[in-house]
């Protein structure tokens, strides 16, 4: 994740209370837990899908939608129920039973379905085994949404729709696509799933590892959609990061997903999310790692990240996520920029480049090299990047080179690079940032010049 | 003669197509739920609403001279049905309208009908009693 990020404040609502006792203190109007409807959506749609079958996915969604509509109709008058999540589940089940009886489409399966729906009424809703079944249903849905037969970007949209309860319009806003385009993608994806007869189950045996990798890639992609500056409005992007964390956490807590690489990915997400509040200043300008106010990094998220990072240290598999998490951990562990352990970061990049020798990774490694061995070494490293030509349209290449030249006081060279970067940058904040750099180099603002381990501004 | 009353009752009838909330995302549904809840609670605390209920979509319509026709209706798929009501206790029509304008459903096509509850007669009971006394 070497790209720049943009966000102001972080709304932390990672913890989705599954069952909530809302006996509000007297005099206070009870509020519904933030995003409750959205977070319950995935669980409920998965539950109903397990009963109706994957080809009745649309029916499951309609029923949950109706249950939420009923909440809208009645809660304002009668207040928030003591256990809002259970209420919504009960209502959606009742609506499902009504549907089965009324529509008579299930014929001989009708009795079976009704008994499945009537099972676990309110009291036993809290039984641990029932909770496990619900989790299993959600996990099954996760594997369905991330099935290899569905194109990767469509997987992200599908996960957002079914698991996270986003509407096509909301997804469009998040991914910078039109609502119509998203709706089309979703329809096609669902159709593929239906016609391929994908079973509603968690893969087992040999198949599991590869399928799990697929799920992780999609969750990583989802996080990145929220992390990068070029997608959607800021608050929406933060939501995406939170949803990615929520889903990955859920996966990590389940026996199927409780393995090192999942913890590594989760740690990576948490470390990066922790720094979201400080990535831009109040004017929306990008702040480099060096400039970020570390006192505003979210400590609980970092601790949580460290916890999962240590969980990931089990076993002997080192995934790409492990290394990226390690690099992020180095930054998060440093109390200030100057004490960043660049030597450690460099050795991590050395490891990463063996797994993934893409030019972007190599570029990030070059920055680490510059911080450890000096700017000249950094420039050399960039020149030596394999497939360097692939970076020709990548603005960060020029931004990094511009930085290097500026450190060496080669003003004209620096200006040249920043100008080129400016031409290629995508977003307003990136351009603002580069324009500032260009101006500074043109004015010949002298940068402080240390020797080894100098604080070269890393693109955070 | 008529005597101005200091407070009066108005009925807010929430009219919408039965489908108005179908198109909302879970997030929007929750936001409107929160807003509507806060609205109703605030008005209750201010003593401005004395009753309010949602109306279930199913119903019957009775007609015919002897009430011999009982049919299902209105249907939620029909253009507009009444989804609920508030009974307001406010100073004036203007105030009732001002309250109606706060309805969170308006943004999604809900229409609010504001109807004064007709007074029993042009004199209020207590004023009538005073009058009776003074004439006694």
Query: Could you tell me which residues are beta bridge partners of residue B52?
Result: B86
The owner of tokens 């998965």 is A46
Q: What is the pLDDT of residue B132?
A: 60
Cα(B102)–Cα(B43) distance, integer angstroms: 11
Q: CA-CA distance, A136 to A201, in Å (whole number)?
A: 9
Hey, are the CB atoms on A41 and B26 less than 8 Å from each other?
yes
Average pLDDT over residues A281-287: 72
pLDDT tens profile A427-445: 777 888 889 888 888 876 4
Cα B76 from chain centroid (whole Å): 19
A79 in contact with chain B, both atoms CB, cutoff 8 A: yes
Name the residue ranges covered by the structural domains of chain B.
5-134
Q: What are the helix (H) ranges across chain B?
A: 26-45, 93-100, 125-135
Check whether domain B5-134 has CATH 3.30.70.1060, yes or no = yes
Q: Which residue of B has its CA nearest to A72?
A: B33
A164 to chain B, closest Cα gap in Å: 10
Nearest CA in chain A to B18: A69
Residues of B in contact with A73 (CB under 8 A): 21, 54, 83-84
- Count CA within 13 A, CB hemisphere, residue A260: 12
Question: What is the Cα–Cα distance from A439 to A389, expressed in whole angstroms?
Answer: 27
Mutate to test the interface with A, among B12, B33, B77, B105 (most CBs of A within 10 A): B33
> How far, in Å, are A109, B58, B69, B117 from residue B64 at the CA level?
43, 20, 6, 26
For helices A84-103 and A110-118, what crossing angle results, to 10°? 170
Q: Which residue has the higher pLDDT, A59 or A19?
A: A59
Nearest CB partner across the interface for A68, out of B26, B39, B54: B26
Best mutation target among B20, B23, B29, B43 (most A Cβ atoms within 10 Å) is B29
Q: In chain A, what percentage of residues exceed pLDDT 90?
A: 62
**B54/A74 Cβ within 8 A:** yes
* Mean pLDDT within A247-255: 95
* Tokens linked to A341: 């352990």
A450, A391 contact by CB (below 8 A): no
Is the predicted pLDDT of residue A2 greater than 80, yes or no? no
Instruction: Measure CA A255 to chain center.
Output: 21
Q: What is the pLDDT of residues A26-51, one digit of tens each?
A: 445 567 898 999 999 999 999 999 99
- Residue A184 is predicted with a pLDDT of 97
User: Smallest CA–CA separation between B37 and chain A, in Å?
Assistant: 4
Enumerate the H helices of A275-425 as residue ranges: 299-311, 320-333, 342-355, 359-373, 375-383, 395-407, 411-424
Query: What is the C-alpha to C-alpha distance for residues A36 and A18, in angstroms, rounded to an integer?
Result: 8
- How close does chain A come to B1, measured CA to CA in Å? 39
Contact B30 A73 (CB under 8 A): no
Above 70 in pLDDT, residue A449?
no
Contact indicator for A396, A3 with CB cutoff of 8 Å:
yes
Residue A65 contacts B where some CB pair is shorter than 8 Å: yes
Secondary structure of residue B107 in the 3-state scheme: helix
What are the backbone dihedrals phi and psi of residue A43, each rounded to the nearest 5 degrees, phi first?
-60, -50
Residues of A in contact with B40 (CB under 8 A): 76-77
Q: Is the dihedral of CA A105, A109, A115, A117 positive or negative?
A: negative
Q: Is the pLDDT of residue B20 over 80?
A: yes
Say if the Cβ atoms of A76 and B25 lie within 8 Å: no
- Element housing A50 (H / E): helix A36-52
Q: Do A167 and B32 touch (CB under 8 A)?
A: no
CB atoms A68 and B83 under 8 Å = no
Nearest Cβ partner for B27 among A29, A38, A69: A38
A80-94: average pLDDT: 94
Q: What is the ipTM of this complex?
A: 0.82
Identify the pLDDT of residue A196.
Answer: 94
Q: A457 falls in which pLDDT band (50, 70, 90)? A: low
Q: Which residues of B touch A (CB under 8 A)?
A: 21-22, 24-30, 32-34, 36-41, 52-54, 83-84
From the list A241, A290, A292, A284, the residue with the least C-alpha distance to A266 is: A241
Token representation of residue A150: 């569905």
Tell which of A22, A30, A58, A72 to mutate to test the B interface (max B CBs under 10 Å): A72
Q: How many CB atoms lie within 10 A of CB B14?
A: 24
Q: What is the dihedral of CA A319, A322, A328, A329, to 10 degrees?
A: -170
Closest CA to A309 of A291, A321, A297, A296: A321
Between CA A264 and CA A352 the distance in angstroms is 14
- Comparing CB atoms, the residue among B21, B26, B39 nearest residue A165 is B26
Name the DSSP letter for residue A322: H
DSSP for A333-372 reads H-SSGGG--HHHHHHHHHHHHHH---HHHHHHHHHHHHHH
Percent of chain A with pLDDT over 70: 86
The arithmetic mean of pLDDT across residues A394-414, rounded, is 91
Say whether pLDDT at A453 is over 50.
no
Between A124 and A164, name the one with better pLDDT.
A164
Question: A167–B22: do the CB atoms touch at under 8 Å?
Answer: no
DSSP-assigned letter for residue A379: H
- Residues of A within 8 A of B30 (CB-CB) are 32, 35-38, 68
Cβ atoms of A445 and A19 within 8 Å: the answer is no
Q: Which residues of A touch B27 (CB under 8 A)?
A: 35, 37-38, 165-167, 170
Average pLDDT over residues B117-130: 62
CB atoms within 10 A of CB A222: 27
- B30/A37 CB distance under 8 A: yes
Could you give the CA distance from residue B135 to residue A439 in angstroms, rounded to a whole number? Answer: 93
Predicted confidence (pLDDT) per residue in B70-123, tens digit: 988 776 566 788 999 999 999 899 999 999 999 999 999 999 999 999 876 655
Contact A167 B54 (CB under 8 A): no
- Please state, rounded to an integer, the average pLDDT across all residues of chain A: 85
Cβ contact A69–B32 (<8 Å): no
Q: In this complex, do A65 and B33 lie within 8 Å of one another by their Cβ atoms?
A: no
For residue B84, the chain A residues in CB contact (below 8 A) are 73, 77
Query: Tens of pLDDT along B34-66?
Result: 999 999 999 999 999 999 999 988 889 899 999
Selection from A319, A219, A335 nearest residue A269 by Cα: A219
The pLDDT of residue B129 = 55
Q: What are the tens digits of pLDDT across the range A286-345?
A: 777 888 889 999 999 999 999 999 999 998 888 999 999 999 999 999 999 889 999 999
- Three-class SS state of A224: helix
The distance from CA A211 to its chain's CA centroid, rounded to whole angstroms, is 18
Our CA angle for A219, A314, A14, nearest 5°, is 35
Whether B37 and A68 lie within 8 Å, measured CB to CB: no
Q: Contact B30/A167, CB-based, under 8 Å?
A: no
Residue B23 or A272, more confident: A272
Alpha helices in A84-178 (DSSP H): 84-103, 110-118, 128-145, 152-158, 168-175
Residues of B in contact with A80 (CB under 8 A): 37
Angle of CA points B11, B14, B20, to nearest 5°: 180
Comparing CB atoms, the residue among B28, B33, B83 nearest residue A75 is B33
Give dist(CA A117, CA A96) in Å, integer.
Answer: 8
For residue A124, is pLDDT > 70? no
Mean pLDDT, rounded, for A360-372: 93
Q: Which of A32, A66, A166 sits opposite B33 (nearest CB)?
A: A32
| B15 three-class SS | strand
Q: Which residue has the tokens 């949209």?
A: A157
pLDDT at site A22 = 43
CB-CB neighbours of A141 under 10 Å: 26
**Interface probe, candidates B14, B22, B30, B42, chain A, greatest A C-beta count within 10 A:** B30
Average pLDDT over residues A399-404: 92
Higher pLDDT, A363 or A432: A363
Q: Give the span between the Cα atoms of A160 and A145, in whole angstroms.
A: 9
pLDDT digits (tens, 9 = 90+) for A164-207: 999 999 999 888 899 999 999 999 999 999 999 999 999 998 99
Chain centre distance of CA B68: 29
H helix or E strand, kind and range, residue A208: helix A206-227
Highest mean pLDDT among A20-24, A123-127, A391-395: A391-395
């Amino acid at each position: 994740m070497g790209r720049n990020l943009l966000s102001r404040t972080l709304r932390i609502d990672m913890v989705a209370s599954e069952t909530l006792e809302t006996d509000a203190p007297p005099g206070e109007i009870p509020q519904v837990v933030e995003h409750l409807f959205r977070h319950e959506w995935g669980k409920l749609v998965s539950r109903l899908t397990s009963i109706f079958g994957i080809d009745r996915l649309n029916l499951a969604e309609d029923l949950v939608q109706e249950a939420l509509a009923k909440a809208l109709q009645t809660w304002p008058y009668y207040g928030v129920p003591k256990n809002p999540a259970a209420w919504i589940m009960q209502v959606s089940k009742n609506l499902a039973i009504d549907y089965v009886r009324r529509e008579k489409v299930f014929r001989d399966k009708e009795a079976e379905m009704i008994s499945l729906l009537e099972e676990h009424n309110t009291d036993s809703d809290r039984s641990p085994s029932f909770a496990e079944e619900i989790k299993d249903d959600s996990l099954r849905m996760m594997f369905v949404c991330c099935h290899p037969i569905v194109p990767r970007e469509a997987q992200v949209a599908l996960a957002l729709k079914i698991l996270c309860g986003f509407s096509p319009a909301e997804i469009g806003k998040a991914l910078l696509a039109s609502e119509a385009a998203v709706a089309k993608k979703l329809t096609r994806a669902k159709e593929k799933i239906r016609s391929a007869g994908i079973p509603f189950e968690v893969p087992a045996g040999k198949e599991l590892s590869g399928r799990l990798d697929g799920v992780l890639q999609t969750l990583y992609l989802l996080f990145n959609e929220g992390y990068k500056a070029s997608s959607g409005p800021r608050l929406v992007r933060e939501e995406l990061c939170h949803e990615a964390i929520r889903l990955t956490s859920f996966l990590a807590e389940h026996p199927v997903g409780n393995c090192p690489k999942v913890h590594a990915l989760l740690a990576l997400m948490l470390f990066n999310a922790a720094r979201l509040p400080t990535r831009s200043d109040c004017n929306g300008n990008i702040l480099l790692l060096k400039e970020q106010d570390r006192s505003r990094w979210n400590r609980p998220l970092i601790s949580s990240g460290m916890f999962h990072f240590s969980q990931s240290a089990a076993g002997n598999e080192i995934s790409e996520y492990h290394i990226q998490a390690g690099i992020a951990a180095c930054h998060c562990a440093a109390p200030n920029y100057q004490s960043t352990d660049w030597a450690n970061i460099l050795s991590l990049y050395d490891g990463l480049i063996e797994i993934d020798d893409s030019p972007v990774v190599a570029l990030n490694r070059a920055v680490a090299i510059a911080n450890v061995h000096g700017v000249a070494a950094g420039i050399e490293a960039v020149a030596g990047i394999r497939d360097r030509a692939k970076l020709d349209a990548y603005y960060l290449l020029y931004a990094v080179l511009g930085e290097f030249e500026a450190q060496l006081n080669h003003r004209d060279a620096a200006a040249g690079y920043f100008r080129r970067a400016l031409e290629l940058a995508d977003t307003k904040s990136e351009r603002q940032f580069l324009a500032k750099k260009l101006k500074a180099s043109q004015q010949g603002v002298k940068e402080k010049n240390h020797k080894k381990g100098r604080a070269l501004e890393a693109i955070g | 003669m008529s005597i101005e009353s200091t407070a009066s009752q108005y009925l807010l009838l929430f009219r919408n197509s039965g489908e108005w909330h179908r198109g909302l995302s879970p997030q929007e549904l929750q936001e409107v739920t929160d807003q509507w809840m806060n609205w109703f609670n605030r008005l209750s605390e201010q003593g401005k609403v004395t009753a309010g209920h949602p109306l279930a979509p199913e119903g019957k319509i009775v007609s015919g001279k002897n009430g011999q026709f009982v049919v299902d209706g209105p249907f939620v798929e029909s253009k507009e049905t009444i989804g609920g009501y508030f009974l307001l206790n406010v100073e004036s029509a203007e105030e009732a309208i001002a309250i109606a304008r706060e309805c969170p459903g308006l943004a999604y096509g809900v229409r609010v009908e504001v109807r004064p509850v007709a007074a029993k007669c042009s004199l209020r009971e207590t004023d009538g009693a005073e009058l009776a006394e003074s004439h006694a």
